[in-house]
């Protein structure tokens, strides 16, 4: 199973791929760590963002996309453009997408904690939320 964790920040989707096979986690190389949408107010740009993400999912044979949920209200609420990008990903044809709430992520990581530190993954620091969402999704899918 290959899972793509997504953290939406501003006008871009920060991604991290995680492969789980034979009870072993792998971090497959990926041609990009983020996919940007130049102007989420333009229909053409949203379509290009969706097409770019769909092509990445097809090329890397991604089985599931898990988006890290963001707050809708309050001091740390996500912006409108981010929610547009989230919606576009959710309705992308042939893409299996779910949104992971912080409480679900915390429960899954409690059940199966990360077996190494994030620094040992070799990923960029800004990819940590996307990676943790992917890892928590896989941890929640399997009985250990």
Helix (H) or strand (E) holding 99: strand 97-100
- What is the pLDDT at residue 143? 62
Alpha carbon distances (Å) from 104 to 1, 107, 133, 139? 20, 5, 10, 11
- What is the pLDDT at residue 72? 72
- What is the pLDDT at residue 140? 92
Report residues of the chain scoring pLDDT below 50.
Answer: none
- What is the pLDDT at residue 57? 98
Phi, psi of 72 (to 5 degrees): -95, -25
Which three-class secondary structure state does DSSP give residue 44? helix
- What is the pLDDT at residue 94? 94
Give the largest Cα separation in the chain, rounded. Answer: 45
- What is the pLDDT at residue 23? 85
Q: Do the beta carbons of residue 67 and residue 53 sit within 8 Å?
A: no
- What is the pLDDT at residue 77? 66
Domains of the chain listed by start with CATH number: 2-141 (3.30.420.10)
C-alpha to C-alpha distance for 101 and 58, rounded to whole angstroms: 26
Kindly tell me the sign of the dihedral angle through the C-alpha atoms of 132, 133, 136, 141. Answer: negative
Alpha carbon distances (Å) from 53 to 45, 46, 58, 97, 114? 12, 11, 9, 12, 27
- What is the pLDDT at residue 78? 66
Beta-bridge partners for 67: 6, 99
């Amino acid at each position: 199973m290959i899972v793509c964790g997504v953290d939406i920040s501003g006008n871009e989707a920060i991604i991290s791929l995680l492969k789980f096979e034979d009870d072993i986690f792998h971090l497959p190389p990926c041609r990009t760590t983020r996919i940007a949408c130049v102007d989420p107010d333009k229909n053409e740009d949203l379509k290009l963002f969706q097409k770019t993400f769909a092509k990445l999912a097809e090329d890397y044979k991604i089985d599931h996309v898990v988006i890290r949920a963001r707050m809708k209200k309050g001091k740390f609420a996500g912006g409108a453009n981010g929610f547009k990008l989230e919606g576009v990903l959710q309705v992308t044809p042939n893409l299996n997408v779910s949104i992971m709430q912080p409480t679900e992520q915390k429960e899954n990581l409690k059940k199966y904690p990360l077996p190494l530190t994030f620094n040992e993954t070799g990923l960029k620091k800004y990819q940590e939320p996307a990676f943790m969402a992917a890892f928590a999704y896989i941890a929640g899918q399997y009985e250990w």
